[in-house]
Amino acid sequence: MISPPTNFHSNRMGRIVLMAMEEVLGHSGVNAVLHLAHLPDYIDQYPAYNQGFKFPLQHLSLLLTAFESAYGPRAGRGLFLRVGRACVKYGLREFGSELGITDLAFRLLPLPTRIKVGSERLAGLFNQITDQAVHLEVDEKYISWQIKHCPLCWERQADIPSCVLAVGLLQEALYWVSGGKNYLVEEQKCIACGDSTCTIVIDRTPMS
């Protein structure tokens, strides 16, 4: 039984996720997954790009579960990670200038500063356009991205951390902000595994 939604994403965010999903699965793939997730209302009717706040956080966990049953747990999570990466392209179109990460002044900052400032601005945006309550802790080596109300874990239990959409989104956002470098992004704690937050740790030294 699904309890009534209490926390939401902005409609813009919901639309970005569904468009990214379509990029990864194709149109008929998205429709199949939406059926499986018992969310047929989104078929051919993604949320509008507007200021509304009506995309329940728990719809993301229903979608993740649908991916896992459609493609198997491992492959389903792999695809969901790719959806997270694809969100960045649509997200930049919608929020790039708001974030101030597309302007020249930002692009000229030294790389470590760009990674720190970019992560802080992204967390600030998430706290504006979703009810996830993201908190950041930054030290010399790591950035710890802590989610209090994780949409991917909503009423889910898992043996391993599985908030792959957030991991993929952060990987791709860092790739973009750094001008093409890859960072180690690892989920170390997960609410679905019994932790109090979902904690994703970013190693501030690029791998390549």
Choose the binding region for Zn ion from 13-21, 22-30, 40-48, 188-196 (rule: CB under 5 A): 188-196
CB closest to Zn ion, residue no = 150
The smaller minimum CB distance to Zn ion, of residues 114 and 149, is found at 149
By CB under 5 A, is residue 13 in contact with Zn ion? no
Residue 168 CA to residue 208 CA, distance in Å, equals 17
Binding mask 91-130 for Zn ion (x = CB under 5 A): ----------------------------------------
SS3 content of the chain, % helix, strand, coil (to 5): 50, 15, 35
Q: Name the minimum Å distance from CB 193 to Zn ion.
A: 9
Q: Name the minimum Å distance from CB 95 to Zn ion.
A: 22
By CB under 5 A, is residue 152 in contact with Zn ion? yes
Binding mask 189-208 for Zn ion (x = CB under 5 A): --x------x----------
The smaller minimum CB distance to Zn ion, of residues 101 and 158, is found at 158
Q: Name the minimum Å distance from CB 181 to Zn ion.
A: 25
Task: Please list every residue from 158 through 187 that binds Zn ion, using CB under 5 A.
Answer: 163
Going from the C-alpha of 188 to that of each of 7, 55, 100, 185, 192, the distances in angstroms are: 24, 27, 29, 9, 12
Q: Name the minimum Å distance from CB 196 to Zn ion.
A: 11
Identified binder of Zn ion from the candidate list 30, 150, 164, 177, rule CB under 5 A: 150
Q: Name the minimum Å distance from CB 165 to Zn ion.
A: 9
Q: Which residues of 40-50 are buried (b: 16+ CB within 10 A; e: fewer)?
A: eebeeebbeee
Q: Name the minimum Å distance from CB 96 to Zn ion.
A: 26
Give the number of other CB atoms < 10 A from CB of residue 132: 23
The smaller minimum CB distance to Zn ion, of residues 152 and 169, is found at 152
In this structure, what token pair is assigned to residue 69? 């049953």
Residue 130 DSSP class: B
Tell me which residues touch Zn ion (CB under 5 A): 150, 152-153, 163, 191, 198
